[in-house]
Amino acid sequence: MSGIVAIVGRPNVGKSTFFNRLIQRREAIVDAVSGVTRDRHYGKSDWNGVEFSLIDTGGYVVGSDDVFETEIDKQVELAIDEADAIIFMVDVESGITGMDQDVANLLRRVDKPVFLVVNKVDNGQRATNAVEFYNLGLGEYYTIASINGSGTGELLDELVKVLPEKNEDESSELPRFAVVGRPNAGKSSFINALIGEDRYIVTDIAGTTRDAIDTKYNRFGFEFNLVDTAGIRRKSKVKEDLEFYSVMRSVRAIEHSDVCLIVLDATRGFDGQVQNIFWLAERNRKGIVILVNKWDLVENKESNTLKDFEKYIRREIEPFTDVPIVFISALTKQRIFKAIETAVEVYKNRSKKIKTSELNDVLLPIIEHNPPPAYKGKYVKIKYITQLPTPQPQFAFFCNLPQYIRDPYKRFLENQLRREFDFHGVPVSVYLRKK
């Protein structure tokens, strides 16, 4: 599993600049999902082959000092609860402020690795001034300049040492289906409807995170782990931050799953937060099933038919529209088993391996019929196709001039793969390589 690293600190110390620098470090990154809630960002980075998720806990509200303080407390509390390591950023220009002191007081009581990072240190004089941050009582500090990246290497070398190792627990051979979505969309009801008085349940495994519970489940002769992200403890501190909490939960659950069942409330529609969760799953290359819950509560169905609603969702998720959408009611148990059956199909699609000979026999004639358009007078010849040995479907197309193949043609190749081999519900990656 990859660790989660939270960046905390008061506004304007350069957290976002640092965050952006880290997630843009490589090409295949999961881009930042901006505004997952107001202004938190989530992204993926890697250093020396260790991949981790990064949460930028936001530059906060503009308001009185006390508003700032409650926000900052909340931000730190959340980071402490959810992250594996914490980067506490301060600013050498302003020295130690009262708010820095408050954050430090919270962090001194934490049993997790905390990295004190002094930003904006871009000359010798500032490096000398940074010494005052010893007074925060957090021990050693790292000096960086996030604007040009100096000093970040040393910091990251130490950071990746403390992140959790990939731990393949005995249950990990089982496929993992994560039930995600915003609060109150009906995730709990859906899971309870499945498991409630159900005799199929085998054992309860303590969750991968404190409140994401794994339930071993067997249906249609197929055994899997159902990961419930609904168990969000309501702490008085995080009432208003339930959204952020649920997003943090979703991040973890999505990363450690094979298929994501995204539950949405039909009366609220496919809103921003649900879209963020969808794109998070898509960028992590997970199988996806969209479950529209509470369809029974939608008013005037004549003007708002199922078909229209489905069209509207597909419009929102373009270009990745090859995703199953199942209308359910967790309350009346309507189509909940259909939902699981669909997830099982998507899981099988995601783990599908296609023989090289079959790929070439089927696709090369299609490509010959519809070759890539000539670019700058150059003709591209695709000669050979193979599936890469990855957990999810990725294909390499070998050709003479890969650099001349544009995105629309890549999409054409992806669509042919989908049409011929059925990757319903699964993101497919197409790479062009030089023969």
Cα dihedral 87, 91, 94, 96 in deg (nearest 10): 30
- Whether 204 has a binding-site annotation, put simply, is no
- Whether 120 has a binding-site annotation, put simply, is yes
d(CA 261, CA 341): 12
- As given in the structure block, the two tokens for residue 361 are 């026999």
- Whether 228 has a binding-site annotation, put simply, is yes
- Whether 139 has a binding-site annotation, put simply, is no
- Whether 189 has a binding-site annotation, put simply, is no
- Whether 16 has a binding-site annotation, put simply, is yes
- Whether 350 has a binding-site annotation, put simply, is no
- Whether 227 has a binding-site annotation, put simply, is no
Report the relative pairing of strands 85-91 and 41-47 from DSSP bridges: unpaired
- Whether 121 has a binding-site annotation, put simply, is yes
- Whether 59 has a binding-site annotation, put simply, is yes
- Whether 186 has a binding-site annotation, put simply, is yes
- Whether 229 has a binding-site annotation, put simply, is yes
> Contacts for 170-176 with beta carbons within 8 Å, 24 or more apart?
171/205, 171/214, 171/216, 171/225, 174/216, 174/223, 174/224, 174/225, 175/224, 175/225, 175/258, 175/259, 175/347, 176/214, 176/224, 176/225, 176/227, 176/256, 176/257, 176/258, 176/259
- Whether 11 has a binding-site annotation, put simply, is yes
- Whether 60 has a binding-site annotation, put simply, is yes
* Alpha carbon separation from 185 to 40, 188, 229, 295 (Å, rounded): 21, 9, 12, 11
- Whether 333 has a binding-site annotation, put simply, is no
Sign of CA dihedral 265, 270, 276, 279: positive
Other beta carbons within 10 Å of 9: 26
- Whether 415 has a binding-site annotation, put simply, is no
Query: Which residues, 6+ apart, have CB-to-CB distance to 263 below 8 Å?
Result: 179, 180, 181, 185, 186, 187, 190, 291, 293
d(CA 393, CA 192): 32
- Whether 43 has a binding-site annotation, put simply, is no
d(CA 252, CA 243): 14
- Whether 231 has a binding-site annotation, put simply, is yes
d(CA 33, CA 254): 14
Q: For 339-395, give the DSSP string.
A: HHHHHHHHHHHHT----HHHHHHHHHHHHHHSPPPPBTTBPP-EEEEEE-SSSS-EE
Other beta carbons within 10 Å of 188: 18
- Whether 376 has a binding-site annotation, put simply, is no
Q: How far is CA 195 from the centre of its chain?
A: 26
- Whether 293 has a binding-site annotation, put simply, is yes
- Whether 295 has a binding-site annotation, put simply, is yes
- Whether 308 has a binding-site annotation, put simply, is no
Q: Tell me the helix, strand and coil percentages in the chain, rounded to 5.
A: 40, 25, 40
- Whether 232 has a binding-site annotation, put simply, is yes
- Whether 31 has a binding-site annotation, put simply, is no
- Whether 208 has a binding-site annotation, put simply, is no
Query: Which residues, 6+ apart, have CB-to-CB distance to 97 below 8 Å?
Result: 10
d(CA 375, CA 401): 10
- Whether 230 has a binding-site annotation, put simply, is yes
- Whether 56 has a binding-site annotation, put simply, is yes
Which DSSP symbol is given to 65? H
- Whether 179 has a binding-site annotation, put simply, is no
Binding-site annotation: residue ranges for GTP: 9-16, 56-60, 119-122, 181-188, 228-232, 293-296
Annotated binding site: 9-16, 56-60, 119-122, 181-188, 228-232, 293-296
